[in-house]
Amino acid sequence: MTAFPEGTPGTGIVGVGSHLPSQVVSNSVVAARAGVTPEWIVRKTTIRERRYAGQYEATSDLAVKAAEAALADAGITADQLGWVLVATSTPDQPQPATACLVQHQIGAHRAAAFDINAVCAGFVFALAAGARLMSGTGGYGLVIGADVYSRIIDPSDRKTAILFGDGAGAVVLGPVPRDRGFVGGGMSSRGDLSGLIRVEAGGSRVPASKESVIDGSHHFRMDGRGVREFVTDQLPVAVANVLDANGLIGDDVDHFVPHQANGALLADVWPLLGLGRARQVLTVERHGNTSAASIPIALDHARRDGTFADGDLLLLAGFGGGMSVATALIRWHGGPTAGAGGAPRAD
């Protein structure tokens, strides 16, 4: 497992924002297409509704709105950013990077911009990259998680259609006191298991074609049982490793912010993590699985609900296609209104 870079204390989250599309999609709508009942969806996932992007909304559109909210919350302007990272596995298009589209739209003309694709673990991978970029340089950077999975889901596939929604979340990284900010983290990938989560067509191996559309190979596919086994086995190991590497124990953690994959899965794995004192931050019931956006959306909602206090220790954990797992320990700076702007949250 690769650790966060040394020298990142004094770098932390100084602004948070999120955006969810206005279209609310209930379980009754999803259930009818997938051949299940709304009650079955709740029992299997705890999800009751999710949001879908509008016909003309793309990933960058959601990302821009989350970014603007985070910048307002941090009390800085886009031209103060040194870089913009977008974690996504549903880019607007194969080229250019969605981050470059966001950079232009928000006016971050001095910033370098690039995408990171680690699927549902992408936001925490992007945080690690951001921590490296910030190390010893100061200034500000923007990390966004954004996905529009409604575009690649097969509505008749009950393994996936019931889970996913669309959204974006963003954080501004900047200077904080030395006893606040990033404490540590880790990343790992199991490429030998990459077949568990996949979109087979649309790349260089299986280019998009009329045939790929007809046979549905451009749809998102997932081996649900295999993913559950992977998360149950690997997430407790990742949590134990990051705590041990930083001289901490489970009772030191105040808040656990996981990827909002599936509420039933998270409930099953929770007793295995050894975080009995921590408060688990969950938004999956209202938003579904928003892939790389799920952790920053959860951060924004919890922070604005007054969940985090100055000095609280947060453990973020992303997991998803690859198969990848990423963790980040963050000592929270400021209270529920730490950002200078206090931009309203988009529900």
Q: What is d(CA 83, CA 137) in angstroms, rounded to the nearest whole number?
A: 12
Alpha-carbon distances of 205 from 200, 248, 299, 322, rounded to whole Å: 8, 44, 37, 17
- Among the listed residues 100, 219, 262, 289, the single catalytic one is 289
CA dihedral 74, 327, 96, 291 (to 10 degrees): -90
Structure token pair of residue 64:
């821009």
The number of beta carbons lying within 10 Å of the beta carbon of residue 147 is: 32
Active site residue 333: no
Q: What is d(CA 22, CA 315) in angstroms, rounded to the nearest whole number?
A: 30
- Among the listed residues 19, 120, 262, 301, the single catalytic one is 120
- Among the listed residues 19, 255, 259, 301, the single catalytic one is 259
Give Cα 280 distance to the centre of its chain: 15
Report strand pairing: 140-148 vs 220-222: unpaired
DSSP 49-76: EEEE--TT--HHHHHHHHHHHHHHHHT-
The number of beta carbons lying within 10 Å of the beta carbon of residue 156 is: 12
Q: Which of 334, 342, 335 is nearest to 180 (CA)?
A: 334
Active site residue 100: no
Contact 190, 230 (CB under 8 A): yes
Structure token pair of residue 286:
């209202």
E-assigned strands of the chain?
2-3, 11-19, 23-26, 49-52, 81-87, 112-116, 140-148, 166-175, 181-189, 197-199, 220-222, 255-258, 279-280, 313-320, 324-331
Counting DSSP H helices and E strands in the chain, the numbers are: 10, 15
The residues carrying an active-site annotation are: 120, 259, 289
